[in-house]
Structure 1
């Protein structure tokens, strides 16, 4: 690698890292707020919240990396323009292709990173997150029992606990179990623990009483007990096998839906379109960078109007991404999966052609010179 390549790469890597870090942090903070329910509703700690929030980052990187790369390339070239370094390079005979080569090299690395995130890292982390959330919601102790609160678990089951201790131990319980309308029961117990069994979780009460209304007399019947078990399996959420959404599937599972599953049969075309979209997403990195390169060093050389060029380029890449989403939706409805690749490939080809084509004035002078020679 020549000194010029190293110099341009150094100028690009620093802003790319800063833009990637700043944008990812901002978007991550907004997305992580969706997991705040884990703390509020299920009594989880800050560590669980941060762990689940970090699992969101790979899905953000797949979208942010191409945009961050575009911003870094535009910033780098604008800075070189401002310092008249590009003018010196052109005067020394450096071509546009030579100037773009190191930036396209880092684009190739970013595209490979995006591809890896899309086909492996994102579905893997999403699966871990979904399983963790399902386990939390299915955990009766974490989702239901909280110190000093009356909690309605639904289906006619209400629990009050004086104190929740580590290890699934509870002190001072009052339970109204009206799940069976013909056998409404109230329990009071000094202590209790949760125990998992083959029949589901059991709430084991110690040193308490059971109060119910007798069937025939209507009198309150009180039974004192040393130990009593209440089956909580009907109160569990998320029982059964988890349904994998599109973002949680690996590439092979998207391109080859399991037609024996109802969800896959109903969404087969959309699943395949999502798979092709993941393969096409790295192409957007090249499209964005080539559009940025053309905006700053394409066409006739000038020191002015770069703000307008950058604004048009930024609008173009956002419009391109919207068109890509529309094309993916159309492919998911019609099965024409080539539509997923068409927008980024067309933009990449058009931007590369415009970038490498000589300026109109140079072509005109070349044609005039040829005519004069004849």
Structure 2
């Protein structure tokens, strides 16, 4: 790279790091508030909250990289135009396309970061997050069992425990199930234990009874037992246990739409193709966003008041680019084989940026519109 390319690249990368840090912090704080309410409210420790927060960071970084690239490009170009540095380079004979070369290098650098994130780090973090979520969903003791108070793990279920021993033994259990419209069941036991099940934990009750009241005729049947096992899968929701998240699968599996993966995730072939190709197309948005921000500001000339109209144009084009990206994803989800629509957004953005750079080299036409 020439000295000018290295200089502009250093400016872009330094501001990109700043904007990326700010945007990731904003997104992470917003996400952390929800995680805090969910995990701490369910009885989890602060270490679990910290672990989940760290696992959500790769996805947060992936989302903000194109926006950070756009913001860094607009900020740097506006500053260099105000300080006449780009004006001097144009006076030496640099065309708009030549000036855009370091911006293209910058966009490709951000694209490389995003490729690593979307295809390696994000799927890996989502797999770990899914596994840990399944483990916590199974941990009913931490989520629902609190001694000395009435709890309602789900609609129509009332649970009371007098005491939980240091070894995890439940003493004096009361469990009322009023979900059925025909009868009402009440389980009591002197002792109880929780054991792991395939879908949800199972409650093993010792030395207790089950009272079942028929609502229609008011008859009550009492069954005493020495030990009784109750499956909690129907009593407590475990949040989709046993199903793999689509964003946790490797990109190759999604692109080839393996039938085994479709069965494990419950997703259609179109959904798998859209997810896989989005991981390849989304990094191109960083290139398109950076070029659009640069090309839009190149439509103006030196002004001590800044390039506010050109900046507004850049923001409007970025919003339009996002709309095209969303449209492409919805088309790809509608039917199998429509995945090329995912690439429409980035390609349209790059073509628009190229057209604007060509237009920027037409001084007379530019002067009539942006003077």
1:11 — aligned with what?
A: 11
Shift, 1:113, TM fit: 1.3
2:56 — aligned with what?
A: 56
Shift, 1:229, TM fit: 6.8
Given that residues 147 and 163 in structure 1 are in contact (C-alpha distance below 8 angstroms), is that contact kept between their aligned partners in structure 2?
Answer: yes
1:130 paired with 2:102, answer no
Given that residues 139 and 236 in structure 1 are in contact (C-alpha distance below 8 angstroms), is that contact kept between their aligned partners in structure 2?
Answer: no
Task: Please list the CA deviations of residues 105-126 of structure 1 after superposition, one character each: whole Å capped at 9, or x if unmatched.
Answer: 2211110111222222222212
Go from structure 1 to structure 2 and tell me whether the alpha carbon gap of 1:329 and 1:322 turns closer, same or farther (over 3 Å shift).
Answer: same
1:175 — aligned with what?
A: 174
Given that residues 175 and 188 in structure 1 are in contact (C-alpha distance below 8 angstroms), is that contact kept between their aligned partners in structure 2?
Answer: no
- The residue matched to 2:74 in structure 1 has which SS? helix
1:371 — aligned with what?
A: none
1:285 paired with 2:282, answer no
2:216 — aligned with what?
A: none
1:330-341 matched pairs, under 5 angstroms = 330-334=331-335, 335-341=337-343
The whole-number CA distance in structure 1 between the counterparts of 2:5 and 2:159 is 68
Task: Please list the CA deviations of residues 312-337 of structure 1 after superposition, one character each: whole Å capped at 9, or x if unmatched.
Answer: 11111111111111122112224333
* Alignment TM-score, normalising by the size of structure 2: 0.79
The whole-number CA distance in structure 1 between the counterparts of 2:101 and 2:68 is 18
Task: Please list the CA deviations of residues 6-48 of structure 1 after superposition, one character each: whole Å capped at 9, or x if unmatched.
Answer: 3222322222111111111111222233324533552111221
Larger Rg: 1
2:81 — aligned with what?
A: 81
| Paired residue total | 353
Runs of at least 5 residues in structure 2 that lack an aligned partner in the other structure: 213-219, 367-371
Aligned residues: CA RMSD? 3.8
Go from structure 1 to structure 2 and tell me whether the alpha carbon gap of 1:42 and 1:164 turns closer, same or farther (over 3 Å shift).
Answer: farther
The whole-number CA distance in structure 2 between the counterparts of 1:45 and 1:276 is 38
Runs of at least 5 residues in structure 1 that lack an aligned partner in the other structure: 365-374
Task: Please list the CA deviations of residues 162-206 of structure 1 after superposition, one character each: whole Å capped at 9, or x if unmatched.
Answer: 555766455x544236699798542245xx654558998565779
1:372 — aligned with what?
A: none
2:320 — aligned with what?
A: 319
- The residue matched to 2:100 in structure 1 has which SS? helix
Point out the more displaced range, 140-149 or 320-329.
Answer: 140-149
Task: Please list the CA deviations of residues 282-312 of structure 1 after superposition, one character each: whole Å capped at 9, or x if unmatched.
Answer: 221111111111122x346443661011111
1:289-304 matched pairs, under 5 angstroms = 289-296=290-297, 298-299=298-299, 301-303=301-303
* Alignment TM-score, normalising by the size of structure 1: 0.78
- The residue matched to 1:244 in structure 2 has which SS? coil
